Amino acid sequence: MRRAFTLAAEGPRVGDHARVGAVILAPDGTVLAEGHHRGAGTPHAEVDALMDLPAGGAAGATAVVTLEPCNHHGRTGPCSLALVEAGIARVVYAIDDPNDTVHGGGDRLRDAGVEVVSGLLADEAEAFLERWLHSIRTGRPWVTVKWAASLDGRAAAADGSSRWITGAAARQHVHEQRADHDAILVGTGTVLADDPGLTARGDGGELLRTQPLPVVVGDREVPESAVVRSHPRGLVTVPGHDLDAALRSLRPHGVHSVFVEGGPTVASAMIAAGLADELLVYLAPVLLGGPGLALGDLGVGSMNERLRLDVLSTTELGPDLLIRARPSRSTP
């Protein structure tokens, strides 16, 4: 199963799919074939592995898969049926697929006389597919909120200037995080004030191979001359200020994860609404003072209402410090 996870990790991290790996074992435990899902529209991991075997080569074998084999006709046929037709005798998978339109592969296999074992390394599968599972289960994408600030919590100087608080290493890390999410979201205020491109770029300014879908939320019009209108993925605009509804509206676009980089207004609203699943805070060793706070009102009126965080990691990026945190699950 851990080998199947390694294979799954070779698939694209972003896109409208789950990363899945599969290993086909002979009755004596010998590896017959391996496969993984390479993205939407490509063969699923089980079929990818079966394609490496001759006709009848999987008869009596065991398939080890990181996610329950699918049971529906989409861009590809149901993997559960492919496994039955290949003569697989036993299927071991980590977790059930939470998607109602896909779930049921395990039952289909059992009905066909295939031995099915589920739950192997389930905790590791939950962690590996965390963002995708969250999106399917809640109906809204995983949200990462990012901001950069001085040590005294300012995102801009008194005159409004904000470039650059952090150094080159931190800024490049941000671009890598953009590429690691399906979409990047800002408010119309950020577009009008900064005219950002919202692309993911390399340290030489080149576009990275994977680009997030740019999303702008708010009622003000995005100018025709705005740089973001030239984004290689196009532009999605969502009117209004209901952030939960805005996030849910991205599902038809195949968005399972969103990188929020929209300034204090959007960042604060996401956190106050309980929509932030992870925070990336880049701290620079400078002091700015003044009114340019990185966050605004979070709805915290007293210390008893403070929002607790669990710090997952701290990383030095040149002179700067990255703090990765999540809303605390522990009891105050």
Residue spans of the domains in the chain: they are 2-133, 140-327
Distance, CA of 108 to CA of 96 (rounded, Å) = 13
State the pLDDT at residue 331: 53
Other beta carbons within 10 angstroms of residue 275's beta carbon come to 18
Amino acid at 64: V
State the pLDDT at residue 75: 65
State the pLDDT at residue 22: 97
Residue-wise pLDDT tens digits, 28-79: 999 999 999 998 788 999 999 999 999 999 999 999 999 999 987 666 678 9
C-alpha distances in Å from residue 238, one per residue of 193, 204, 221? 18, 32, 11
**Percent of the chain surpassing pLDDT 90:** 86
Contact 125, 119 (CB under 8 A): no
Distance, CA of 84 to CA of 110 (rounded, Å) = 10
Q: Looking at domain 2-133, what is its CATH homologous superfamily?
A: Cytidine Deaminase, domain 2 (3.40.140.10)
**Structure tokens of 179?**
């590429």
Q: Which residues contact 301 (CB under 8 A, 6 or more apart)?
A: none
State the pLDDT at residue 16: 83
Instruction: Collapse the DSSP code of 61 into the 3-class scheme (helix H, G, I; strand E, B; otherwise coil) and give the result.
Output: coil
Active site residue 46: yes
Confidence band of 332 (pLDDT split at 50, 70, 90) = low
State the pLDDT at residue 60: 96
- pTM score, whole prediction: 0.91
Residues in the chain: 332
Residue-wise pLDDT tens digits, 8-19: 999 998 988 899
Other beta carbons within 10 angstroms of residue 114's beta carbon come to 20
Q: Which residues contact 116 (CB under 8 A, 6 or more apart)?
A: 90, 91, 92, 93, 106, 109, 110
Fold annotation for 140-327: Dihydrofolate Reductase, subunit A (3.40.430)
State the pLDDT at residue 27: 94
Distance, CA of 115 to CA of 243 (rounded, Å) = 45
**Structure tokens of 114?**
């295939």
Other beta carbons within 10 angstroms of residue 163's beta carbon come to 8
- At residue 238, does pLDDT exceed 70? yes
Q: What's the mean pLDDT when you consider all of the chain?
A: 93
Residues 34, 46, 261, 278: which is the catalytic one?
A: 46
Contact 151, 287 (CB under 8 A): yes
